[in-house]
Amino acid sequence: MTPAKCSDLDYIHFLMSAHCSYSCCSASRCVKYGPNSPHHDSFTRLLHRQPQDTESLWKDVSPLISLKKGYLIVDDSTLEKPHSRSIELVSLHWSGNQHRIVPGISLVTLVWTDGDVTYPVDFRIYSKERDGKTKNDHFADMLKMAKERGFSPEFVLFDSWYSSMRNLMLVKKLGWHFLTRLKKNRMVKTEETSYCQIHEFPIPGGGINVRLKGVGIVRVFHRDNDGNGIQFWATDFLGMSEEERNEISSIAFKIEQYHRNLKQYCGVESCQARKANAQMGHILLSIRAVVRMEWIRIKQNISLHEQKEQPIREAMRHRMNNLQQMGFD
Residue 254 CA to residue 249 CA, distance in Å, equals 10
Looking at the domain assignment, is residue 211 inside a domain? no
Is the pLDDT score of 176 beyond 70? yes
Q: What is the pLDDT of residues 72-126, one digit of tens each?
A: 999 999 999 888 778 888 888 888 777 888 999 999 999 999 999 999 999 999 9
Q: Which pTM was predicted?
A: 0.91
Give tens-digit pLDDT for 233-285: 999 999 999 999 999 999 999 999 999 999 999 999 988 888 999 999 999 99
For residues 252 and 14, give the distance between their C-alpha atoms in angstroms, rounded to a whole number: 30
pLDDT at 228: 58
Query: Which helix (H) or strand (E) element contains residue 128?
Result: helix 128-131
Whether 63 is in a domain gets the answer yes
Residue 57 lies in a domain: yes
Which residue range is the domain that position 292 belongs to?
Answer: 8-30+45-159+252-306
Look up residue 7 and give its DSSP letter: -
Is residue 1 included in any domain, yes or no?
no
> So what's the pLDDT on residue 262?
95
pLDDT number for residue 227: 53
**For position 158, what pLDDT does the model report?**
96
**Mean predicted confidence (pLDDT) in 180-197:** 92
> CA 267 to CA 276: how far, in whole Å?
17
Higher per-residue pLDDT: 85 or 142? 142
Alpha-carbon distance of 264 to 305, in angstroms, equals 9
Angstrom CA distances, 204 to 45, 209, 220, 254, stand at: 59, 10, 9, 27
Q: Is residue 85 part of a domain?
A: yes
Residue 287 in domain: yes
Judged against a pLDDT cut of 90, whether residue 32 lies above it is answered with no
Distances (CA, A) of 116 to 27, 101, 295: 32, 32, 12
Partnered with residue 108 across adjacent β-strands are 76, 124
Number of compact structural domains in the chain = 1
Residue 25 lies in a domain: yes
Can you give the pLDDT at residue 34?
61
Instruction: Please tell me the predicted confidence (pLDDT) of residue 83.
Output: 81
User: In this structure, is residue 212 part of a structural domain?
Assistant: no
Tell me: pLDDT of 319 over 70: yes
